[in-house]
Amino acid sequence: MKMSKRAVLLIACILIVSMLGVMFTGCGKKETPDKTTPSGDQGTTTEQPGKEDQEEFAFPLKEPVKFTMLYRDHPAYPYKEDWILWDEIKKRTNVELELTIVPMSDYEQKRNLLISTGEAPEIVPSTYPGQEVSFIPSGAIIPVSDYLHLMPNFSRQIEEWNLQEDIKTIKQKDGKFYVLPGLREVAVAEYSLAIRTDIFEKHNIPIPESWNDLYEALKKLKELYPNIYPFSDRWKGDALLNFASLSFGVQGGWGAGNGIYYYRDKDEFGFYPITDDYKEMLKYFNKLVKEGLMDPESFIQEDEIAVNQKFATGKSFVISTNTQEIISMRNKMKETLGEGNFKVDMLPPLEGPKGRVISGSRLDNGIVITKKALDNPNFEALMRFVDWLWYSEEGQILTRWGVEGVTYKRSGDKFELLPGVKAGYLGINVDDENAKDLRNDFGMGNGVFMFSLYNGHKHLMYSYMIEEAKNFVQKANELCTLLPPAPPVLMDEIEREEANVLSQSLMDYVKQMTLQFITGKADIDKEWDTFVQECKAKGADRLVQMTNEVYQKTKDILK
């Protein structure tokens, strides 16, 4: 019996060898129908004889050029190849973008895969600072800071808008940066609380200015409406903790990060979740939940329930929002409560123990350029093209408002859509059923090209806001102090790997306990010390020590 096993092994070997033969002939056959499909042969079509004179570089280029780009396809405005955006870009620059289309649902994953395998297109937008770092050691993406001389608009804005400090935060140990972030002329508080102003006014409840005012207001509301939770939040509380934490001198929610907080006065880093400041914030929200003022479901419920079934139907009066969401909430409430039966406003950031604070960071997500671009004979044109489309005023007007005389008309800083054009996402001309949509039908207002709503030239940003959002932004900037961005901690690959593993378990625990303290599942007075001890046992001290060591060692690099 044993003998036959050996024999079989032999057969297997023979088979495998013969298979290899079949494999190659087989593959050859399968390949033939593929030949017609594009597989990265771009660049061969473009030849640019003698285009060296940099001084006279101007769009449109004399010869047509193709650049490849990764495109994030948003389900709310699905990609269309007949958008006039593409024609306009072609017309004004003689550049044709060859897109790799990726559904937004998993954009990040495909981007990482493509860059990792070296199969990514040349231009890769929609990438957040921090997401690029893992591609730096291998050289898969280029240090864009080496090519700023090709990017006049970008460079000028950094200069004129005083963004040097912000840019410093994305620099790496070699003093270079690898992502081109979207730049904001003014800092903007994106998120804040929305309240049912009509209810507040009806009962003579003063509009809250601070977190304590909010507590008092909610208490009154609870007396008046004992059967509901006046405050029921969305986004699982992540937005709330994010903006609230700033005024408590900590971080939280979406911005929880790795638990490290920069203490400017001491010029060192600390682990914020174990500070008294953090405890104070938890106690505040725990008080809201304990007294029935805040819905404990705030931290788990789906947005649809929080917004559609609670806030929009008058079952709660306070909710987190942003300048965009408030428009869509109102639209919903017109359906549920009826026009004129409600009034919703966005509160400026509330005052906490550390005052009224908003994040002063003025960088958005950005663009990385893969090393493939360096092989493109038109590399210089590519960088200039990126600079033009994403950073120049002309480019930004095109991607926001479209084409003068076709989609909009302009008088001074005022942009107005032409008749027959609407912008549902901005709430302009929404009622015109037959109008074409600026975003869905023309291709403007696209997150891929705008970075964010708050991006770019101030006047353009404001032009894209309804009056109320404008007021909100201006008021917030008047009232609040800007928290400057923390200086970068220039870890190398191995240090970063260790810090990440450490902070992952640590922050899992912090998040878990944060919610348990707030919802009262854990008693904050009794269990706080255990929590602090546990954080330390999970490596909080090690993380702080490591961060400070690296920081002290490297902070002079960027000076």
Partner 1 sequence: MGSTKRKNISVFDVINVIIMLFVVVVTLYPFLYLTALSMSSEKYVYEGSITFYPKGFTLGTYKVLLKDNYFWTSYRNTIIYTVLGTLISLTLTVLLAYPLSKKNLKGRGIFLGFILFTMFFGGGLIPTYLLVSRMLQMRNTIWAVIIPGAISTYNVLVTKTFFEGIPDELEEAAAIDGMNTYGILVKIVLPLSKPILATMSLFYAVGIWNNWFGPFIYLDDKKLFPVSLYLRNIIAGAQKAREVVGGDVEGFGDIEATIKSASMVVSALPIIMVYPFLQKYFVKGIMIGSLKG
Partner 2 sequence: MGSNIEIQTATAVATKAKVGRGKQLWKAIKKDWQLYTLLLLPLVHYLIFRYIPMYGIIIAFRRYQPGGPVYGSQWVGTRYFQMFLRDQGFWRAFRNNIILSVEYLVISFPFPIIFALLLNELKNLKFKKFVQTVSYLPHFISTVVVVGMIKEILSPSVGVVNMVLKNLIGKTIDFVSEPGWFRPIYIASGIWQHLGWNSIIYLAALSGINPELYEAARIDGANRFQQMKYVTIPGIMPTVMVLLILNIGSLMAVGFEKILLLYNPQTYETADVISTFLYRMGLTMNNYSYGAAVGLFESIISVILLTTANYLSRKFTDSSLW
| Tokens 């970008």, located at residue | 154
Q: What tokens appear for 107 in the block?
A: 């954009």
Q: Which of residues 338-367 bind partner 1 (CB under 8 A)?
A: 364-365
The phi and psi torsions of 266 (rounded to 5 degrees) equal -95, -5
Q: Pick the closer one to partner 1 by CB: 445 or 539.
A: 445
Q: Select from partner 1, partner 2, none the partner in contact with residue 392, using the beta carbon and a kind-dependent cut-off of 5 to 8 Å.
A: none
Q: Which of residues 491-530 bind partner 2 (CB under 8 A)?
A: 493, 497, 500-501, 503-505, 508, 511-512, 514-516, 519, 521
Position 139 contacts partner 2 (CB under 8 A): yes
Q: Which of residues 401-460 bind partner 1 (CB under 8 A)?
A: 425, 447, 450-455
Position 75 contacts partner 1 (CB under 8 A): yes
Per-residue contact string for residues 37-56; x = within reach of partner 1 by CB under 8 A:
xxx-----------------
Which of 356, 232, 249, 221 has the alpha carbon at shortest distance from 301?
Answer: 232
Strands 357-359 and 260-263 come out as unpaired
Position 13 contacts partner 2 (CB under 8 A): no
Position 86 contacts partner 1 (CB under 8 A): no
Position 321 contacts partner 1 (CB under 8 A): no
Q: What tokens appear for 373 in the block?
A: 């671009």
Q: Pick the closer one to partner 1 by CB: 273 or 539.
A: 273
Among 336, 429, 477, 554, binds partner 1 (CB under 8 A): 336
**CA torsion through residues 206, 212, 214, 218, sign:** negative
What residues contact residue 377 under an 8 Å CB cut-off, 6+ apart? 43, 46, 47, 48
**CA torsion through residues 154, 160, 164, 169, sign:** negative
Contact indicator for 393, 415 with CB cutoff of 8 Å: no
Q: Select from partner 2, partner 1, none the partner in contact with residue 20, using the beta carbon and a kind-dependent cut-off of 5 to 8 Å.
A: partner 2
To the nearest whole angstrom, how small is the minimum distance from the Cβ of residue 12 to partner 2? Answer: 9
The site for partner 1, by CB under 8 A, has a size of 74
CA distances 180 to 94, 104, 145, 355, 388, Å, are: 23, 20, 8, 33, 13
To the nearest whole angstrom, how small is the minimum distance from the Cβ of residue 193 to partner 1? Answer: 14
Q: Select from partner 1, partner 2, none the partner in contact with residue 335, using the beta carbon and a kind-dependent cut-off of 5 to 8 Å.
A: partner 1
Length of the chain: 559
Q: Pick the closer one to partner 2 by CB: 76 or 501.
A: 501
Q: Select from partner 1, partner 2, none the partner in contact with residue 26, using the beta carbon and a kind-dependent cut-off of 5 to 8 Å.
A: partner 2
Position 34 contacts partner 1 (CB under 8 A): yes
Per-residue contact string for residues 244-283; x = within reach of partner 2 by CB under 8 A:
--------------x-------------------------
Q: Select from partner 2, partner 1, none the partner in contact with residue 104, using the beta carbon and a kind-dependent cut-off of 5 to 8 Å.
A: partner 1
| Dihedral Cα 116, 121, 125, 129, nearest 10 deg | 30
Position 119 contacts partner 1 (CB under 8 A): yes
The phi and psi torsions of 410 (rounded to 5 degrees) equal -125, 135
Q: What tokens appear for 233 in the block?
A: 């939040």
Q: Pick the closer one to partner 1 by CB: 430 or 532.
A: 430
- Where b means 16+ CB within 10 Å and e means fewer, 161-179 reads bebeebbebbbbbeeebbb
The site for partner 2, by CB under 8 A, has a size of 61
Q: Pick the closer one to partner 2 by CB: 10 or 557.
A: 10
Position 19 contacts partner 1 (CB under 8 A): no
Helices (H) then strands (E): counts for the chain: 20, 16
CA distances 159 to 273, 307, 387, Å, are: 36, 42, 15
Position 17 contacts partner 2 (CB under 8 A): no
The phi and psi torsions of 387 (rounded to 5 degrees) equal -60, -40
Contact indicator for 519, 289 with CB cutoff of 8 Å: yes
Position 362 contacts partner 2 (CB under 8 A): no
What residues contact residue 503 under an 8 Å CB cut-off, 6+ apart? 258, 259, 260, 543
Which range, of 46-54, 105-113, 386-394, 536-544, touches partner 1 by CB under 8 A? 105-113
422 forms beta bridges with: 437
Position 296 contacts partner 2 (CB under 8 A): yes
Footprint on this chain of partner 2 (rule: CB under 8 A) = 1-4, 6-8, 10-11, 15-16, 18-20, 22-23, 26-27, 112, 115-118, 131, 134-135, 137-141, 229, 236, 258, 295-297, 299-302, 304-305, 309-310, 493, 497, 500-501, 503-505, 508, 511-512, 514-516, 519, 521, 538
